Amino acid sequence: MKFFIDSADLDAIAELADIGLVDGVTTNPSIIAKSGRDFKEVIAEICKLTDGHVSAEVVGTDAEDMIREGRILRKIADNVCVKLPLTMAGLKACNQLSSENIPTNVTLCFSANQALLAAKVGATYISPFIGRLDDITLDGMELIEDIRTIYDNFGYETEVLAASIRSVNHVKECALVGADVITAPPKVVKSLADHVLTDKGLAAFLKDWEATGQSI
């Protein structure tokens, strides 16, 4: 399973990339707006931190604007992936950009039927939002399972990119049901390494080692 980092924090992305935990990055206009910086400049800098796809989202609402913006975003770097909303206009834009061999990430997916449409028009990734479904008492993980089954049934190559991940349990469950990719904030990715027994065991080992007076 690939790990994408859902952030525009260059330092946080670089830290995880140095460890080997960054297969790509997802962003959106809201995330980048918080930085107060130029959108294209931030995307360009993120693209230098990973060889994987970096999702950069269009802001147009009709297909023609999305296609135009997608072509502009793709020129920023070879690993830019154009992020499009799951609307009919977004699907039309996805179909056109995909025909031009431009990678696409269709986002804001909340149903298996929507995911089926995205695969039909050639999306590189589909982004089902787990946490937001959980927020309204629906089962976000069930959606991931349904999409996985549908894509496997018909051999669709669109990758399931689980988004809106809020916890380490979300990551584990995505791995169990076969999501191709998860995208999560840096804090969640770091938390995957945490366990109270690991900390306790390490403390005991270090204490015993210190008592020997030796060094390596």
CA angle 145, 148, 154 (to 5 degrees): 140
Q: pLDDT category, 33, cuts 50, 70, 90?
A: confident
**In the chain, what are the domain boundaries?**
2-212
Catalytic residue among 40, 75, 83, 200: 83
Query: In this predicted model, what pLDDT tens digit does every residue of 128-148 receive, in sequence order?
Result: 999 998 889 889 999 999 999
User: Do the beta carbons of residue 34 and residue 52 sit within 8 Å?
Assistant: no
Report whether CATH 3.20.20.70 matches the domain 2-212.
Answer: yes
- The 3-state secondary structure of the chain, one letter per residue: CEEEEECCCHHHHHHHHHHCCCCEEECCHHHHHCCCCCHHHHHHHHHCCCCCCEEEECCCCCHHHHHHHHHHHHCCCCCEEEEEECCHHHHHHHHHHHHCCCCEEEEEECCHHHHHHHHHCCCCEEEEEHHHHHHCCCCHHHHHHHHHHHHHHHCCCCEEEEECCCCHHHHHHHHHHCCCEEEECHHHHHHCCCCHHHHHHHHHHHHHHHHHCCCC
Judged against a pLDDT cut of 90, whether residue 31 lies above it is answered with no
Mean pLDDT along residues 147-155: 98
Residue 135 near residue 173, CB atoms below 8 Å:
no
Answer yes or no: 83 catalytic: yes
> Is the pTM for the entire model greater than 0.75?
yes
Average pLDDT over residues 180-203: 97
pLDDT exceeds 90 at position 113: yes
In this prediction, residue 35 carries a pLDDT of 82
Average pLDDT in the chain: 96
